[in-house]
Amino acid sequence: MESIEGEFVIEIDNQSVGLPENNGESRVHASLGPTSPAVFTLVDGYLKSSGWILGRSLVEDRSLLPKRVFWFDEQKSDLGLIQKTRAVSDGDSYVLEFAGAPLIAPDGYLLADLMRDEQQEVKIIMQ
């Protein structure tokens, strides 16, 4: 599914994904907190919040290591260079897949785990 009705917050191990600081960059490695929690919408495969899109870059290294998940400035970014995110229904909630890989946040920075080696509790909290 490429859309979720309504707004939601993403938590990993009880910490919210935070909005990036606007430092003029078109792309910022996403992290948990300490800024205010990002309130997301998922429309047509793009996770959007406050003028930013959360996702994986289309251009990545070819290793099987976890891939960085970035905030892309919606005004400065080409949507064709951002991989779409999918929401898979899981009972009363959803599991987000970033080009087929689940979200993790070791050391507080968001990654997509291609090998599914690490497991962290990821919650979608509807607002």
Flag whether pLDDT at 82 surpasses 90: yes
Q: What is the pLDDT of residues 53-64, one digit of tens each?
A: 999 999 999 999
**% of the chain with per-residue pLDDT over 90:** 76
Which domains can be identified in the chain, with CATH numbers? Answer: 4-126 (2.80.10.50)
pLDDT in tens, 4-18: 889 999 999 999 999
Q: Please name which of 3, 9, 7, 12 lies closest in space to residue 103, comparing C-alpha atoms.
A: 12
pTM (predicted TM-score): 0.93
To the nearest whole number, what is the mean pLDDT of the chain?
A: 92
For residue 91, the model assigns a pLDDT of: 81
Cα(59)–Cα(113) distance, integer angstroms: 16
Compute the distance between CA of residue 9 and CA of residue 30 in angstroms, rounded to an integer. 14
Q: How many CB atoms lie within 10 A of CB 118?
A: 12
Q: Residue 94 has what pLDDT?
A: 86
Q: Is 121 helix (H, G, I), strand (E, B) or coil?
A: coil
Contact 44, 55 (CB under 8 A): no
pLDDT at 90 over 90: no
Buried b (16+ CB within 10 A) or exposed e, 10-38: bbbeebbbbbbeeeeeebbebbbeeeebb
Q: What is the pLDDT of residue 16?
A: 97
